[in-house]
Amino acid sequence: MSEISQKTLNAPSGHTANQAGPRHAYDNDEIDLFELLLRLWDKKGMILLVTLVTTLIAGIYAFTAKEQWTVKSLCLPPRMAQMDDYLTLRRPLLG
Protein backbone atom coordinates (compact mmCIF):
# COMPACT_ATOMS: atom_id res chain seq x y z
CA MET A 1 0.00 0.00 0.00
CA SER A 2 1.13 3.50 -0.59
CA GLU A 3 2.17 5.87 2.14
CA ILE A 4 -0.82 8.09 1.43
CA SER A 5 -3.38 5.34 1.99
CA GLN A 6 -1.89 4.60 5.42
CA LYS A 7 -2.62 8.11 6.75
CA THR A 8 -5.48 8.47 9.17
CA LEU A 9 -8.46 10.31 7.78
CA ASN A 10 -9.45 11.86 11.11
CA ALA A 11 -6.35 13.93 11.69
CA PRO A 12 -5.17 16.88 9.61
CA SER A 13 -1.72 16.58 8.10
CA GLY A 14 1.03 17.26 10.61
CA HIS A 15 -1.10 16.15 13.58
CA THR A 16 -1.76 12.77 15.09
CA ALA A 17 -5.15 11.40 15.99
CA ASN A 18 -4.11 11.00 19.65
CA GLN A 19 -3.45 14.70 20.34
CA ALA A 20 -5.71 16.16 23.01
CA GLY A 21 -7.83 19.20 22.38
CA PRO A 22 -11.14 20.13 20.87
CA ARG A 23 -11.88 19.05 17.34
CA HIS A 24 -12.10 22.07 15.08
CA ALA A 25 -12.74 22.28 11.39
CA TYR A 26 -9.64 22.03 9.30
CA ASP A 27 -7.94 25.30 8.49
CA ASN A 28 -7.40 24.05 4.96
CA ASP A 29 -10.68 22.94 3.41
CA GLU A 30 -9.17 22.06 0.02
CA ILE A 31 -9.37 18.55 -1.36
CA ASP A 32 -6.14 16.97 -2.51
CA LEU A 33 -7.26 15.48 -5.81
CA PHE A 34 -4.01 13.58 -6.30
CA GLU A 35 -4.44 11.86 -2.94
CA LEU A 36 -8.09 11.13 -3.73
CA LEU A 37 -7.16 9.57 -7.07
CA LEU A 38 -4.44 7.49 -5.42
CA ARG A 39 -6.89 6.18 -2.83
CA LEU A 40 -9.43 5.35 -5.52
CA TRP A 41 -6.71 3.63 -7.57
CA ASP A 42 -5.67 1.59 -4.51
CA LYS A 43 -9.28 0.43 -4.11
CA LYS A 44 -9.97 -0.15 -7.81
CA GLY A 45 -10.44 -3.88 -7.27
CA MET A 46 -13.13 -3.35 -4.65
CA ILE A 47 -14.85 -0.71 -6.80
CA LEU A 48 -14.85 -3.06 -9.79
CA LEU A 49 -16.11 -5.99 -7.69
CA VAL A 50 -19.01 -3.98 -6.22
CA THR A 51 -19.91 -2.65 -9.66
CA LEU A 52 -19.93 -6.11 -11.24
CA VAL A 53 -21.91 -7.72 -8.42
CA THR A 54 -24.50 -4.94 -8.48
CA THR A 55 -24.82 -5.15 -12.27
CA LEU A 56 -25.15 -8.93 -12.09
CA ILE A 57 -27.89 -8.75 -9.46
CA ALA A 58 -29.76 -6.08 -11.45
CA GLY A 59 -29.46 -8.13 -14.66
CA ILE A 60 -30.70 -11.30 -12.99
CA TYR A 61 -33.66 -9.44 -11.54
CA ALA A 62 -34.47 -7.71 -14.84
CA PHE A 63 -34.55 -10.97 -16.80
CA THR A 64 -36.25 -13.18 -14.21
CA ALA A 65 -38.79 -10.84 -12.58
CA LYS A 66 -42.41 -11.67 -13.25
CA GLU A 67 -44.17 -9.15 -15.46
CA GLN A 68 -46.56 -7.00 -13.50
CA TRP A 69 -47.84 -5.00 -16.42
CA THR A 70 -49.70 -5.80 -19.63
CA VAL A 71 -50.64 -3.57 -22.53
CA LYS A 72 -53.11 -4.36 -25.28
CA SER A 73 -53.77 -2.13 -28.23
CA LEU A 74 -56.19 -2.21 -31.14
CA CYS A 75 -55.58 -0.04 -34.22
CA LEU A 76 -58.45 0.40 -36.65
CA PRO A 77 -58.49 2.37 -39.89
CA PRO A 78 -60.50 5.58 -39.73
CA ARG A 79 -64.12 5.62 -40.89
CA MET A 80 -65.20 7.95 -43.69
CA ALA A 81 -67.03 10.28 -41.27
CA GLN A 82 -63.84 10.70 -39.30
CA MET A 83 -61.86 11.43 -42.47
CA ASP A 84 -64.36 14.09 -43.51
CA ASP A 85 -63.92 15.89 -40.17
CA TYR A 86 -60.14 15.63 -40.49
CA LEU A 87 -60.07 17.02 -44.03
CA THR A 88 -62.43 19.84 -43.08
CA LEU A 89 -60.11 20.94 -40.28
CA ARG A 90 -56.99 20.55 -42.42
CA ARG A 91 -58.10 22.59 -45.45
CA PRO A 92 -57.61 26.05 -43.84
CA LEU A 93 -54.11 25.09 -42.74
CA LEU A 94 -53.03 24.17 -46.26
CA GLY A 95 -54.23 27.55 -47.53
Q: Of all residues in the chain, what percent carry a pLDDT higher than 90? A: 39
15-33 as b/e: b if 16+ CB within 10 A: eeeeeeeeeeeeeeeeeee
Q: Mind listing the pLDDT tens digit for each residue in 40-85?
A: 999 999 999 999 999 999 999 999 998 888 889 999 988 888 888 8
**Residue of 64, 75, 9, 3 lying closest to 38 (CA atoms):** 3
Residue with the larger pLDDT of the pair 17 and 56? 56
Catalogue the E-assigned strands of the chain.
Answer: none
Q: In a 10 Å sphere around its CB, with 0-12 CB exposed, 13-18 middle and 19+ buried, how is residue 81 labelled?
A: exposed
Q: Give every CB contact of residue 12 below 8 A, 6+ residues apart in sequence.
A: 26, 27, 28
Q: What angle do CA 14, 21, 34 make, to 5 degrees?
A: 30
pLDDT category at 15 given cuts 50, 70, 90 is low
